[in-house]
Structure 1
Amino acid sequence: MLRTLDIRDMLIIDRLELGFQPGLNVLTGETGAGKSILLDSLGFVLGWRGRAELVRTGAEQGEVVAVFDLPSDHPAHAILEDAGLPGGDELILRRVNRQDGRKTAWVNDRRCSGEVLRQLSETLVELHGQHDDRGLLNPRGHRALLDSFAGTDAARESTRRAWGAMAKARKALSEAEAALTAARAEEDFLRHAVGELDALDPKPGEEAELDSRRRMMQGAEKVRESVGRAHAALGLDGAEGAMGDALRWLEGALAETEGHLEAPLAALERAMNELAEASDGVERCLEALEFNPHELEQVEERLFAIRGLARKHGVAPDALGDFAEDLRERLSALDAGEGNIAALQQGLRAAEAAYEGAADTLSLARRDAAGKLDAAVMAELAPLKMERAVFETRLAPGEAGPDGRDQVEFVVATNPGAPAGPLAKIASGGELSRFLLALKVCLTQDVGGLTLIFDEIDRGVGGATADAVGRRLAALAGQGQVLVVTHSPQVAALGAHHWRVEKQVVENQTLSRVVPLAPDERVDEIARMLSGDTITNEARAAAKALLD
C-alpha cells in the first residue's frame, strides 16, 4: 500500500506531502490544476519512462519520495533480495532529477538503478486510464494478461524449456549437416593428408633432434680428429701418464719431507680424478661421433620430409602430430556422419513432440481460463449498466514460439447481435471505460499488495452509470487501496478519502497544491463538480444527497 508521497520542485509543485489511506482515495480538481503532475511524479519515483523535463523552473533539482507498506508475503521482497537491497516491512523509494537531466535513485537509502525501480513498481502499482498504455487495448499483450489470470506459470515454463530444447536440437542437426557437407567436399584431401602423416608419423621435438644430429654428422670427421688428439693427450701416453709418474715420485719422497708434500699430493689426487672424468667424457664424445656413412643421408631425408609437410600444411613441425589428429577426427566425423545425422534427426523429432505436447497443455489451460475470464468480466459488466454487452476472449492458432502457439485477443460487442470487434474500435468512450474497469478488476483480483490507480476511468459516463462505476471502484478498494483521479461527482462521493488538487499564484509564480478535504469541504467540492464555479444551494443539496 502507498502510504506517503513527498514531492519537491517538480513542474509546478514546490513542496507537497500526501498521506494516503487504505480504501478508495479520490483526487478531484479543475482541468489543469495539476492532477496529472501527481501521476507523473509517482511514475518518476517508480522508474517509469515519462516526461523528460520535470524539474521546477528555478530549482536545481526535483525529488520524489514514496513510502510503501510491505506485508511479509509481498513479491517485492524477492526483488529486493535479488538486487542485494535491504528489506523490511517498509519500502522507501527516492529519486532525484537534476536540472541537467541526470537521475539518481535510492531504495531504502541504498543506490539502485532505474531498472530495479521498474521491477519493484510492477509489484506495487497498477496505473490505468481510458487511454490505456499497459496492454489492455493492445492485442499483443492479451496473451500475457490471459496467462496472468490463468496462472499458467508452470505450463509456460515447461513450454519454454521444450522450445529451448527443440531449438538446440535443430541447431545441432543444422551444424552437423553443414559439417558433413563441408567434410565431403574435402574428403579426398583428408584421406591423402592423413595417409601421408600416418606414414611419416612425426614426433614432437623430432625436427630439432634431427637437425642437431645432421649438423653433428656433417662436421664429424674434423671434430673427431680434434677430439681424438685431445683424448690421446689426456691418456696414459699424455697427461694421465705424466701425472701418474709425478704422483709415484712424490709419494716416494713423502716420508723425507716432514709433511711439506701432503697438500701437493692431495691436490694432485684431485686433479687425477678430474682428469679421469674429462677423459671419460671425451671418450663418450668419440663414440657419439661414430656413425654409419649412410646415416647422414637417412637423417637428411627424414628431416626434409618433416619440414616439407609442415610447410605444405602451414603448421610448425612440432605441431604436425596435433594437426594429424585433427584431420583424423574430421575424417572419423565424415565416416560416422550419416549415423550422427540420423541420431540428431531422431532427437529433433523427440524434441518437437515434447514441444507439441507442452504447447497443447498450455493451449488447453488458456482455453479453460478464457471461458472463466469471459464469465468473470460479464459478471462485472452487469453492475456497470452493461448487462447486454458481450465480452469474449478469442484464441486462434498462431506462430509457434517459446510461449506456445496461441493468438489471444479480447473482443467485445456492445449489444446482442452486434458484430464483435477489438475493444478500442467497438466501444464508445464511456463503454470503453467500463469494459476496461471490468477487465482490470478481473485481472487483478488475485494480485495482492497492489495499489490500483485509475486516471479518469469514468470519463464519458454520468448519472447512474457513473454511480455504478464508483460503486465498483469502492467495492474493489475494500480489498486494498485504490486511487482515482476523477471529474465525476458520483465517483468522488463514494471515496473514503478525498483530496482536491488546485492551483494558486504565489509571488507571480503558479504552484499546485493538494488539500485533504473535511466533510463540509467535500460537500462544496462535489457541488462545484455538479454546478461549476458558482455553487448553489441546490448543488450543495445534491452533493449531500450523493454523499449520503
Structure 2
Amino acid sequence: MLVTLSIRDVVLIERLTLAFRPGLCVLTGETGAGKSILLDSLGLALGARGDSALVRHGSDQASVTAEFDLSARADHPAFAILREQELEVEDTLVLRRTLTSDGRSRCFVNDQPVGVTLLRRLGETLVEVHGQFETHGLLDPRTHRDLLDDYANLRKSGEKVSSLWRSWRQVEQARLQAAEDATRARAEEDFLRHAAAELDALDPKAGEEEELAEKRVTLQHREKLIDAINGAYGELSGDRGAERGLAAALKSLIRIADKAGGRLDPVIQVLDEAAAEVAEAARSLQALSADIDMDGGSLEKIEDRLFALRAAARKHGVEVDGLAPLRADMARKLALIEDQGDLLQRLAKQADEAKAAYLEAARALSAARSKAAGKLDKAVADELKPLRMEKARFTTRVAQTGEDGWGPQGIDDIAFQVATNPGAPPGPLHKIASGGELARFMLALKVVLAQVGTVPTLVFDEVDTGVGGAVADAIGERLGRLGGSGLQVLVVTHSPQVAARGAYHWQVRKHAAGSRVKTEVVELSDAERKEEIARMLSGAEITEAARAAAESLIGPRDRLL
C-alpha cells in the first residue's frame, strides 16, 4: 500500500509530505483548491506522462516520491519485475520522479536510476486509478481472464490446462520437425546415400586427427629420433655405459661391506636402485627404437589417412572431429526415410492424444468459467442497483475461440462488457459507459472482486460526480466496504455522504502566501472533520443545521476511525 507521498514544487504545492494508512482515505476541498494536483503528482511517481507545466512557477525542478509497503504479500507482482531487472527486492519500494522546467524527466526505484517504462510497469501493480477521465486496470481485457479465474478459484485448473498445453505443443513440434526432416531428407536422399557411403568407408573416429598428426611428426623425424635413442642406449648399456659402471661399483662395495660396520649399506641401496632405474630406462629405449623401426614404412599411409580426413571435413564444412557425428546424423536421416511412416504415425498419435487431453481439460475449465461468469454478473448487478444503474447490464463474455486462439490459458476469449440502455448490445466498458457511469461500474466490479485483485491501492477521483442523496450514500457505503476489505482506498470527493464514510480525512486548501498562492493538505481531527462535512452540506455559510446533519452522517460510522 501507499505509505507516504512527498511532493516538491508541483504547480501550487511547494513542499508537502502525506502519510497514508490502510482503509478508506478521503480528500475533500473546494473546487480549484488543488485536489487534482495530488493525483497528478501521484501519477508522475507511477510513470504517467510528465508535463513541464507541472513544475511550480519559479522552480527549476519538480520532484515526487511515493513509498509503498509490500510486506503484506510475498508474491506481489512488483517483486517479479524487480528481479527481472536485477534490482534489489525489499518490502519497501520507493518510486521517485523528477521533472525539470524544460520537460526532462528522471526516474528512480529505490534510488536506482531506471526508465519511465519500468516505473509505469511497477506503478500498474501498485495503484489503480478510476475516475471520470482516467481509469485503467479493469479496462484492460488482458486482465479479465485472470480476474475471473481468481474469483472462481480456478487457478489450479488453469495450471493443469497450461501444463497440458505445453505437453501437446512439444509433441506437436516434434511431429512437425520430424515431417520437415523427412521431406528434406527425401529431397536429399541420393546425396545422403552417396555421402554416407563415403563416410562409412572412411570410418572417421573422434580424436583421430590429433593422433595421426602426432604420429606424422614422429615419423618425419624418425632418423634423428633413432640416432638419439641409440646414442642414449649406448651411454647406458655399452662397454663404458652407466649400467656396467654401476654394476662394478656395487660389486666393489659389496665385497667389503661386512668390514664397514653397516656404514656402506645406504650407499649400496642407492646404487642398487640407480642400477635398476638405468636398466629400466635402457629397456624402454630399446622398445621405443623397435616401435619406430616397425613404423618405418607407415609415414605415407598415415599422411594419406590424415589428408583424406581433412579433405572430407572441408567437403562437408565441418571439423575433422565433426565427421563422426555427421555420419551418425546422415544415418538417422536415412533411417527416417526408410522408417518415416512408422515414426510419423507414432508422433501423430502422441500429438492427437496430447491434444485430446488438453481439450478435455480446457473445455472443463471453459464450462467452469461460464458458470462463474453468471455468478459474477449477478453479483455486479446487485451492486449496480443502489448506484442508480439498475437498467445497466454487466456481462462477462466467455467465448470459445477457434484453434488459432487456443493457448496455455485455455480456449476462451474473456471480456467484461456493459450495456447501459435496455435492449442495447453489450460492448467494451470504456466504449459504452460515460465517465460517471464508468466510475460506478468500476466501483461495483471492484467491490465484487475485492479479494482477488492484485493491486493494493485504489484511487477513485470524484466517482460521485452528478449524484447525491441515496446514490451518494450507496457509493460511500461501497467505498467503505472496499476500505474494510484489506485494501487501501483513496477517494477525491465532493459528496458529504462519501466523505462521512472515510476512516481518515484530509482537506485540500489553497491560501495566499505573500504574492503567491499555495496548496496545502491537512489531516482533519474529529471536530475539523465534522466542520468540513458541514461545509460540504451547506456551502459558504456553515449553519447549525448543517453541523447537526454532519454529525448525524458521521456518528454511526465512528467505528471506521
Per-residue Cα deviation, 1:225-258 (whole angstroms, up to 9, x for no partner): x99xx9xx99xxx999xxx9xxxxxxxxxxxxxx
The structural deviation recorded for 1:117 is 7.5
- The one-letter amino acid paired with 2:326 is D
Q: How many angstroms apart in 1 are the aligned matches of 2:292 and 2:112?
A: 77
The structural deviation recorded for 1:300 is 3.9
Contact 1:76–1:120 (Cα < 8 Å) also in 2: no
Q: How many angstroms apart in 2 are the aligned matches of 1:364 and 1:208?
A: 70
Q: How many angstroms apart in 2 are the aligned matches of 1:356 and 1:529?
A: 58
Contact 1:94–1:105 (Cα < 8 Å) also in 2: yes
**Equivalent residues in 2 for 1:53-452 (5 A)?**
53=52, 56=56, 58=59, 62-66=63-67, 68=69, 76=76, 79=79, 85-87=89-91, 91=92, 93=94, 95=96, 97=98, 99=100, 101-106=105-110, 125-201=127-203, 204=208, 207-208=212-213, 211=216, 300=300, 303-304=303-304, 306-308=306-308, 310-314=310-314, 320=320, 322-336=322-336, 338=340, 339-398=342-401, 399-414=405-420, 416-445=422-451, 450-452=456-458
SS at the partner of 1:444?
coil
Which of residues 499, 512, 516 is equivalent to 1:492? 499
Contact 1:42–1:66 (Cα < 8 Å) also in 2: no
Contact 1:310–1:317 (Cα < 8 Å) also in 2: no
Q: How many angstroms apart in 1 are the aligned matches of 2:546 and 2:477?
A: 18
Q: How many angstroms apart in 1 are the aligned matches of 2:459 and 2:519?
A: 20
Contact 2:128–2:135 (Cα < 8 Å) also in 1: no
Q: For the structure 1 residues 355 and 59, does the alpha-carbon distance in structure 2 shift closer, same or farther, using more than 3 Å as the test? A: same
SS at the partner of 1:401?
coil
Contact 2:47–2:120 (Cα < 8 Å) also in 1: yes
Q: How many angstroms apart in 2 are the aligned matches of 1:320 and 1:69?
A: 58
Contact 2:107–2:114 (Cα < 8 Å) also in 1: no
Q: How many angstroms apart in 2 are the aligned matches of 1:135 and 1:166?
A: 32
The structural deviation recorded for 1:403 is 1.3
Contact 1:105–1:111 (Cα < 8 Å) also in 2: yes
Aligned to 1:464: 470
- The one-letter amino acid paired with 2:109 is A
TM-score (norm 2): 0.71
- The one-letter amino acid paired with 1:166 is W
Percent identity, aligned pairs only, is 44
Per-residue Cα deviation, 1:346-375 (whole angstroms, up to 9, x for no partner): 332232223212322321221121011111
The structural deviation recorded for 1:212 is 6.1
Contact 2:430–2:438 (Cα < 8 Å) also in 1: yes
For structure 2, which runs of at least 5 residues remain unmatched after alignment? 245-273, 553-561
Q: How many angstroms apart in 1 are the aligned matches of 2:220 and 2:502?
A: 104
Q: How many angstroms apart in 2 are the aligned matches of 1:426 and 1:279?
A: 100
Aligned to 1:261: none
Q: How many angstroms apart in 1 are the aligned matches of 2:282 and 2:368?
A: 93
Q: How many angstroms apart in 1 are the aligned matches of 2:171 and 2:513?
A: 70
Per-residue Cα deviation, 1:386-434 (whole angstroms, up to 9, x for no partner): 3343322121122112211211222333455454443334444443332
Contact 2:472–2:497 (Cα < 8 Å) also in 1: yes
Q: For the structure 1 residues 129 and 341, does the alpha-carbon distance in structure 2 shift closer, same or farther, using more than 3 Å as the test? A: same
Q: For the structure 1 residues 314 and 488, does the alpha-carbon distance in structure 2 shift closer, same or farther, using more than 3 Å as the test? A: same
Contact 1:24–1:495 (Cα < 8 Å) also in 2: yes
Is 345-354 or 135-144 further displaced after alignment? 135-144
Per-residue Cα deviation, 1:478-533 (whole angstroms, up to 9, x for no partner): 4444321013344234434332212234343442211234566556645655666x
The structural deviation recorded for 1:133 is 3.1
SS at the partner of 2:347?
helix
Q: How many angstroms apart in 2 are the aligned matches of 1:62 and 1:349?
A: 59
- The one-letter amino acid paired with 1:102 is R
For structure 1, which runs of at least 5 residues remain unmatched after alignment? 245-269
Is 311-320 or 455-464 further displaced after alignment? 311-320
Q: How many angstroms apart in 2 are the aligned matches of 1:390 and 1:280?
A: 99
Contact 1:202–1:306 (Cα < 8 Å) also in 2: no
Bigger radius of gyration, 1 or 2?
A: 1
Q: How many angstroms apart in 1 are the aligned matches of 2:494 and 2:370?
A: 39
Q: For the structure 1 residues 159 and 483, does the alpha-carbon distance in structure 2 shift closer, same or farther, using more than 3 Å as the test? A: same
- The one-letter amino acid paired with 1:511 is K
Q: How many angstroms apart in 1 are the aligned matches of 2:406 and 2:470?
A: 46
Q: For the structure 1 residues 132 and 208, does the alpha-carbon distance in structure 2 shift closer, same or farther, using more than 3 Å as the test? A: same
Q: How many angstroms apart in 2 are the aligned matches of 1:66 and 1:318?
A: 59
Q: For the structure 1 residues 524 and 308, does the alpha-carbon distance in structure 2 shift closer, same or farther, using more than 3 Å as the test? A: same
The structural deviation recorded for 1:153 is 1.9
Q: How many angstroms apart in 2 are the aligned matches of 1:283 and 1:421?
A: 94
The structural deviation recorded for 1:307 is 1.9
SS at the partner of 2:105?
coil
Q: How many angstroms apart in 1 are the aligned matches of 2:284 and 2:494?
A: 114
- The one-letter amino acid paired with 1:343 is R
Q: CA RMSD of the aligned region, Å?
A: 5.0
Contact 1:76–1:124 (Cα < 8 Å) also in 2: no
Q: How many angstroms apart in 1 are the aligned matches of 2:219 and 2:122?
A: 77
- What count of residue pairs does the alignment treat as equivalent? 500
Aligned to 2:479: 473
Contact 2:510–2:517 (Cα < 8 Å) also in 1: yes
**Equivalent residues in 2 for 1:13-32 (5 A)?**
13-21=13-21, 23-32=23-32
